[in-house]
């Protein structure tokens, strides 16, 4: 199987590296310093499941040199989707499937404006990983990939990809209810992203503080209500499942939004919290906890660029 990774950051770099280590033909589409590091020194993965160094990997910023592949993992940030879709046509052959693994619930519709819907499946992931430095992916926790056909069918193309994932040592799920999986993850992600970013804190202190934990629970209830108002048949016990997931998450784990805030990179605020608030408003679902987290996170983001550092005058002695 030939796999192209479009967006070789934490998610794409981690899973692509595991596939390549298992002998799969993988090409990383990347850019900038990360691309140069992949070309010159290969890919390193630091992980509690075992470190990995691939001294040589196939990496490029020119999709026309890759040719048609069997699977495209589309893992760019949502705000880069419009520019990254231009990489797809040279990668798509008669049997190619493109699977977006992005935050949010609108990826498929965005990609369907640019490529034939028959070439699309849908996917989501549970993984804590990020670029520690160019050419180095630091994996903190979780390694699940969930994917499925849009109509719920079980197809040979996704069964083959499932086998590749399993053989590479990651945890795949081939779902016949992928919309439910997308929204289950989105509920979790929107709260995790907002709470870790607004407090500039990893998971541990948030779940250990009674007031912050209560706020987390309130935001979960709100986002679950939005999904159900939209007609998504979420599992009845989803709230308890997500609280159990939070309790089992390593204390030092954060979110990609927190990483972006701390490192000065663009943040996916509108694609995540903004999107769920817009849907909730349209459907008449009150979301006071989510609105408060969104407003404060937006201010933190704006302060990075719009406001200079506050200067506190020295007090006369």
The arithmetic mean of pLDDT across residues 88-102, rounded, is: 97
| Predicted pLDDT of residue 269 | 95
The arithmetic mean of pLDDT across residues 257-286, rounded, is: 94
pLDDT in tens, 213-259: 999 999 999 999 999 999 999 999 999 999 999 999 889 988 999 98
| Predicted pLDDT of residue 109 | 93
Domain map (residue ranges) of the chain: 2-176, 182-305
In the predicted structure, residue 142 carries a pLDDT above the cut 80: yes
Asked whether the beta carbons of 128 and 28 are under 8 A apart, the reply is no
In the predicted structure, residue 314 carries a pLDDT above the cut 60: no
Q: Distance between terminal CA atoms of the chain?
A: 72
The arithmetic mean of pLDDT across residues 72-92, rounded, is: 96
| Predicted pLDDT of residue 313 | 46
Q: Categorize the per-residue pLDDT at 306 as very low, low, confident or very high, splitting at 50, 70 and 90.
A: confident
Sign of CA dihedral 145, 150, 151, 153: negative
C-alpha angle with apex 129: 173 to 18, nearest 5 degrees?
60
Asked whether the beta carbons of 28 and 7 are under 8 A apart, the reply is no
Q: Categorize the per-residue pLDDT at 307 as very low, low, confident or very high, splitting at 50, 70 and 90.
A: low
| Predicted pLDDT of residue 312 | 43
Asked whether the beta carbons of 103 and 268 are under 8 A apart, the reply is yes
Tokens of 174: 């081939």
Sign of CA dihedral 231, 235, 238, 239: positive
Of the candidates 304, 74, 291, 100, the residue with the CA atom closest to the CA atom of residue 190: 291
Strand 25-29, strand 121-133: pairing: unpaired
Q: Categorize the per-residue pLDDT at 121 as very low, low, confident or very high, splitting at 50, 70 and 90.
A: very high
The arithmetic mean of pLDDT across residues 1-18, rounded, is: 98
Rounded (10°) CA dihedral 65, 67, 72, 73: -20
In the predicted structure, residue 47 carries a pLDDT above the cut 80: yes
The arithmetic mean of pLDDT across residues 190-203, rounded, is: 96
pTM: 0.89
- The SS3 call for residue 110 is helix
CATH number of 2-176: 3.40.50.720
In the predicted structure, residue 283 carries a pLDDT above the cut 60: yes
Q: Categorize the per-residue pLDDT at 130 as very low, low, confident or very high, splitting at 50, 70 and 90.
A: very high
pLDDT in tens, 54-64: 999 999 999 99
| Predicted pLDDT of residue 309 | 55
CATH 3.90.180.10 fits 182-305, yes or no: no
| Predicted pLDDT of residue 104 | 87
In the predicted structure, residue 316 carries a pLDDT above the cut 70: no
């Amino acid at each position: 199987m030939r796999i192209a990774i479009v967006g070789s950051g934490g998610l794409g770099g981690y899973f692509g590296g595991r596939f390549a280590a298992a002998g799969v033909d993988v090409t990383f589409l990347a850019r900038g310093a990360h691309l140069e590091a992949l070309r010159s020194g290969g890919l390193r993965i630091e992980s509690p499941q075992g470190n990995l160094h691939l001294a040589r990997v196939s990496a490029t910023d020119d999709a026309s040199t890759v040719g048609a592949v069997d699977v495209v993992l589309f893992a760019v940030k949502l705000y880069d989707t419009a520019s990254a879709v231009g990489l797809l046509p040279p990668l798509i052959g008669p049997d190619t499937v493109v699977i977006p693994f992005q935050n949010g619930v609108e990826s498929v519709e965005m990609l369907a404006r640019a490529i034939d819907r028959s070439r699309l499946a849908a996917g989501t992931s549970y993984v804590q990983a990020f670029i520690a430095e160019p050419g180095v992916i630091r994996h903190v926790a979780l390694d699940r990939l969930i994917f499925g056909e849009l109509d719920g069918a079980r197809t040979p193309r996704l069964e083959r990809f499932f086998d590749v994932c399993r053989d590479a040592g990651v945890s795949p799920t081939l779902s016949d209810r992928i919309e439910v999986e997308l929204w289950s993850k989105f509920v979790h992600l929107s709260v995790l992203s907002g709470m870790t970013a607004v407090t500039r804190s990893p998971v541990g202190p948030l779940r250990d503080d009674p007031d912050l934990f209560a706020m987390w629970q309130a935001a979960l209830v709100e986002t679950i209500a939005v999904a159900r108002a939209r007609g998504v048949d979420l599992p009845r016990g989803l709230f308890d499942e997500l609280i159990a997931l939070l309790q089992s998450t390593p204390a030092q784990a954060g979110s990609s939004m927190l990483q972006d805030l701390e490192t000065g990179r663009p943040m996916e605020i509108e694609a995540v919290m903004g999107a769920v608030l817009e849907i909730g408003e349209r459907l008449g679902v009150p979301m006071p906890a989510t609105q408060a987290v969104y407003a404060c996170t937006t201010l933190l983001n704006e302060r990075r660029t719009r406001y200079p550092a506050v200067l506190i005058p020295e007090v006369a002695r």
